[in-house]
């Protein structure tokens, strides 16, 4: 379907970390006509990457816990349980970022990454896409302490949870981060489909 972008201007930029665009456009409607002129704001900060590390033999997932101020701002939990994740800086591919974040946050190096999916996180307001990967512990080694980067003021705790426990925590609202929920449910579906075989053998 057709889209006409009539204008696109930067309304705000912050330290090269993100920018807000104000766009005017028209788009083809489902009945074949052209929509009226529409104005929207778009939040741009680049794309991101997430990795779920999994021990297939023990059925244990490796997650992180850290403080996220935006979730605390409106009386939320503050400390979130998440998969390893980070922003994909310009010039760095998703695989490279995934390996880097695994080492920085939980101290692991892996040989293989299985792509799970790429999805939009908030398509009504942001262009950001996240690419999710699965990594198996049998192809990993602990090569560092993890815990995040001091230069980024990170304080990250490593959590080892049984997959069944992590899935229950989703139902109970204890795990409420979207990328983590998606990755855990993707792993559960893969496990069900292949009845506990090593995921890398798919």
- Tens-place pLDDT, residues 11-65: 889 888 899 999 999 999 999 999 999 999 999 999 999 999 999 999 999 999 9
pLDDT digits (tens, 9 = 90+) for 64-121: 999 999 999 988 899 999 999 999 988 899 999 999 999 999 999 998 999 999 999 9
Co-location of 138 and 58 in the same domain:
yes
Domains of the chain: total: 2
Task: Answer yes or no: do 179 and 142 share one domain.
Answer: yes
Residues annotated within the binding site for Mg(2+) are: 85, 101, 105, 154
Whether residues 61 and 107 fall in one domain: yes
Torsions phi, psi of 85, nearest 5? -160, 160
Quote the mean pLDDT of the chain.
Answer: 90
Tens digit of each residue's pLDDT (9 = 90 or more) over 28-38: 999 999 999 99
CATH assignment of the domain containing 55: 3.90.79.10
Asked if 30 and 102 sit in the same domain, the reply is no
Burial of 170 (0-12, 13-18, 19+ CB in 10 A): middle
Residues 39 and 79 in one domain: no
Tell me: do 16 and 111 sit in the same domain. Answer: no
Residues 54, 99, single domain; the answer is yes
Asked if residue 54 and residue 10 are part of one domain, the reply reads: no
Q: Is 93 exposed, middle or buried (0-12, 13-18, 19+ CB in 10 A)?
A: exposed
What is the domain extent for residue 135? 47-201
Where is the binding site, in residues? 85, 101, 105, 154
């Amino acid at each position: 379907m057709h889209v006409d972008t009539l204008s696109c201007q930067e309304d705000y930029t912050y330290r090269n970390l993100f920018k807000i665009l104000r766009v005017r456009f028209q788009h083809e409607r489902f009945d074949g006509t052209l929509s009226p002129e529409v104005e929207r704001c778009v939040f741009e900060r680049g794309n991101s990457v997430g990795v779920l590390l999994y021990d297939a033999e023990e059925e244990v997932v490796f997650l992180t816990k850290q403080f996220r101020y935006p979730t605390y701002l409106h009386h939320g939990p503050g400390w979130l349980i998440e998969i390893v994740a980070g922003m994909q800086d310009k010039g760095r591919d998703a695989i490279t970022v995934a390996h880097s974040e695994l080492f920085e946050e939980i101290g692991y190096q892996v040989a293989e990454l299985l792509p799970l999916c790429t999805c939009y996180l908030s398509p009504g307001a942001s262009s950001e896409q996240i690419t999710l990967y699965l990594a198996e512990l049998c192809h990993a080694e602990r090569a560092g302490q993890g815990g995040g980067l001091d230069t980024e003021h990170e304080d990250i705790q490593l959590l080892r949870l049984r997959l069944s426990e992590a899935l229950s925590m989703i139902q109970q609202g204890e795990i409420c981060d979207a990328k983590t929920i998606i990755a855990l449910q993707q792993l559960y579906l893969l496990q069900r489909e292949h009845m506990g075989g090593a995921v890398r053998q798919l």
